[in-house]
C-alpha cells in the first residue's frame, strides 16, 4: 500500500496527532516500589514508543481503593505525579502525545490490597475471577456494595486524578469504563443489582459514567477526555452479556454525543462471541454510524485491517496493544512495511527491563 491512512495526521480536539496509530493502554506491573510510582524504566519504555500518534498509558489507579493488580502505578499522590512528569516530558521531547488511563478495578481486586477489607463494587456479587496479588493469583471474593457516599467519593477521586494528570503534563485522560472494571460493573445487570438511583434502569446503570465525565470536565477541557468501552465483553473479567447489555451501550454511546469529547475508544470483541445471543460481533460497524465524534478502534488489528478500517470510514484511528509491546517503532515498521517482532507473554507483567524496554528497533542496514 502506497499511501497508508494509518500514517495520516489526525486532529484530536486541540491536539494534532502525527499519525493514527495509537498505543493501546497496557498494564505492565513495573511500578515495584512502595509508592507505586513510575520511574526510570517507565520513562524509557514510553519514550521508545513516542512515535505512536497517541500513547494511552497503562491503567493507573485513581486511589488506593482502586487497585487490583500488583505493581500498577497510581495517579493519586504527589510522588506519582512527579514520576509521571518525567514520562510525559520524555514523550513530548520525542514529538509524541500521551493520555493517562484512569482506572478503578472495583470487584476485580482482593482484600490483600486493602488491609483485609473487601473490594468495593456496585453490588455484592463475586466475579469468580482471579486477582493478581503480591502473593500470586488468588480467587476473587464477594465485594462490598458501595454506599451512595462511597460512589460520590469515587467520582471525586476520578476528578482529583484528572487534575493530577494535568499537573503531570498529560495531554489528556482516558476514562477506563471497559473490560469488566468498576464503571463497566455498573453498566451490566449481572454485576449491578442495585435498587437505588445507580441501578435498575439502563439510565441508572449508566449514570456513574456521565457523573465521572461531568466531574472531570470541571477540572480540564472536555476535548481532552476520552472514554473506553468494550460492549461485547463476555465470559472474561467476570462479565456476562444479557439482553439489556447492547441496549445499554446503545444508550451510552448515543448520549456521549452530547459531549465534545476527545474520542471514544471501542474494542471489538476480545473473544469469539458469534454464538453468544446478546453480543454484537462487529462493534465498529454498529457504532460508527451512532457516534459523531472521533472513534478509535482496537483489538487484534494488523496493519492491513487497520488501514482498511480507516479507509472505509469505520474508525478514525486504530489502537494496537501487543504489537507495541514488542515493536517500539511500530509506526516506522508500518511505514516501511517491515516485519513485526513477536511478543513474549511471559514478561508482560514481570518486574524490570526484560520484556519491557529491551525490544529492539529495526536494525538499520548500512550499504557499503
Ligand X SMILES: Cc1cc2nc3c(=O)[nH]c(=O)nc-3n(C[C@H](O)[C@H](O)[C@H](O)COP(=O)(O)O)c2cc1C
Could you list the residues that contact ligand X (CB under 6 A)?
A: 24-27, 58-59, 101, 176, 178-179, 228, 267, 298-301, 320-323, 348
| Strands (DSSP E) found in the chain | 10-12, 15-17, 21-23, 54-61, 98-103, 120-121, 130-133, 136-139, 144-145, 172-176, 225-229, 263-267, 295-298, 317-320
CB of 257 to ligand X, least distance (A): 22
Q: Which is nearer to ligand X, 21 or 151 (CB)?
A: 21
Q: How far apart are CA 146 and CA 194, in angstroms?
A: 10
Beta carbons within 10 angstroms of residue 116's beta carbon: 7
Q: How far apart are CA 211 and CA 204, in angstroms?
A: 11
CB of 24 to ligand X, least distance (A): 3
Relative to beta strand 136-139, strand 130-133 is antiparallel
Q: How far apart are CA 304 and CA 144, in angstroms?
A: 45
Q: Which is nearer to ligand X, 150 or 344 (CB)?
A: 344
CB of 142 to ligand X, least distance (A): 24
Q: What is the CA radius of gyration of the chain?
A: 20
320 a catalytic residue:
no
End-to-end CA distance of the chain: 29
Q: In 280-315, which positions are buried (b, 16+ CB within 10 angstroms) versus exposed (e)?
A: beebbebbbeebebbbbbbbebebeebbbbbeeebb
Q: How far apart are CA 233 and CA 279, in angstroms?
A: 8
Question: How many residues appear in the chain?
Answer: 368
Q: How far apart are CA 114 and CA 127, in angstroms?
A: 18
Q: Which is nearer to ligand X, 176 or 234 (CB)?
A: 176
Grid coordinates belonging to 276: 453468544
If you write DSSP's letter for every residue of 61-113 in order, what string do you get? Answer: ESSGGG--BTT--BSSSHHHHHHHHHHHHHHHHTT--EEEEEE--TTSS-GGG
Q: Which is nearer to ligand X, 101 or 154 (CB)?
A: 101
Q: Which is nearer to ligand X, 122 or 321 (CB)?
A: 321
Q: Which is nearer to ligand X, 145 or 284 (CB)?
A: 284
Cβ distance 102 to 174 under 8 Å? Answer: yes
Q: Which of 69, 181, 287, 309 is catalytic?
A: 181
Q: Which is nearer to ligand X, 72 or 145 (CB)?
A: 72
Beta carbons within 10 angstroms of residue 363's beta carbon: 6
Measured at CB, which residue is nearest to ligand X? 321
Which of the residues are catalytic? Answer: 181
Amino acid at each position: 500500500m502506497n499511501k497508508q491512512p494509518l500514517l495520516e495526521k489526525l486532529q484530536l480536539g486541540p491536539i494534532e496527532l502525527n499519525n493514527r496509530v495509537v498505543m493501546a493502554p497496557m498494564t505492565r506491573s513495573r511500578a515495584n516500589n512502595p509508592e507505586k510510582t513510575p520511574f526510570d524504566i517507565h520513562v524509557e519504555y514510553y519514550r521508545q514508543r513516542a512515535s505512536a500518534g497517541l500513547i494511552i498509558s497503562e491503567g493507573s489507579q485513581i486511589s488506593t481503593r482502586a487497585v487490583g493488580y500488583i505493581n500498577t502505578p497510581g495517579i493519586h499522590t504527589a510522588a506519582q505525579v512527579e514520576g509521571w512528569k518525567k514520562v510525559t516530558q520524555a514523550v513530548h521531547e520525542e514529538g509524541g502525545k500521551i493520555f493517562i488511563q484512569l482506572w478503578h478495578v472495583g470487584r476485580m481486586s482482593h482484600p490483600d490490597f486493602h488491609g483485609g477489607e473487601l473490594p468495593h463494587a456496585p453490588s455484592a456479587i463475586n466475579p469468580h475471577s482471579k486477582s493478581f496479588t503480591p502473593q500470586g493469583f488468588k480467587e476473587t471474593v464477594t465485594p462490598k456494595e458501595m454506599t451512595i457516599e462511597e460512589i460520590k467519593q469515587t467520582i471525586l477521586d476520578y476528578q482529583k486524578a484528572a487534575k493530577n494528570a494535568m499537573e503531570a503534563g498529560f495531554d489528556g485522560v482516558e476514562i477506563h469504563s471497559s473490560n469488566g472494571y468498576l464503571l463497566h460493573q455498573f453498566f451490566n445487570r449481572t454485576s449491578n443489582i442495585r435498587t437505588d438511583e445507580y441501578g435498575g434502569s439502563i439510565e441508572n446503570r449508566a449514570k456513574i459514567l456521565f457523573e465521572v465525565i461531568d466531574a472531570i470536565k470541571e477540572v480540564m477541557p472536555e476535548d481532552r477526555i476520552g472514554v473506553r468501552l468494550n460492549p461485547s465483553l463476555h465470559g472474561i473479567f467476570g462479565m456476562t452479556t444479557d439482553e439489556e447489555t447492547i441496549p445499554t451501550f446503545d444508550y451510552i454511546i448515543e448520549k456521549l454525543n452530547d459531549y465534545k469529547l476527545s474520542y471514544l475508544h471501542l474494542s471489538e470483541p476480545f473473544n469469539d462471541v458469534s454464538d453468544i445471543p446478546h453480543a454484537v460481533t462487529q462493534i465498529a460497524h454498529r457504532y460508527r454510524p451512532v457516534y459523531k465524534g472521533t472513534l478509535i478502534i482496537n483489538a487484534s488489528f494488523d496493519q492491513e485491517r487497520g488501514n482498511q478500517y480507516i479507509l472505509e470510514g469505520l474508525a478514525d484511528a486504530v489502537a494496537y496493544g501487543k504489537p507495541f509491546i514488542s515493536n517500539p517503532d511500530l509506526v516506522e515498521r508500518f511505514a516501511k512495511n517491515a516485519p513485526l517482532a513477536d511478543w513474549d507473554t511471559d514478561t508482560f507483567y514481570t518486574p524490570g527491563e526484560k520484556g519491557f524496554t529491551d525490544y529492539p528497533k529495526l536494525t538499520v542496514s548500512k550499504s557499503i
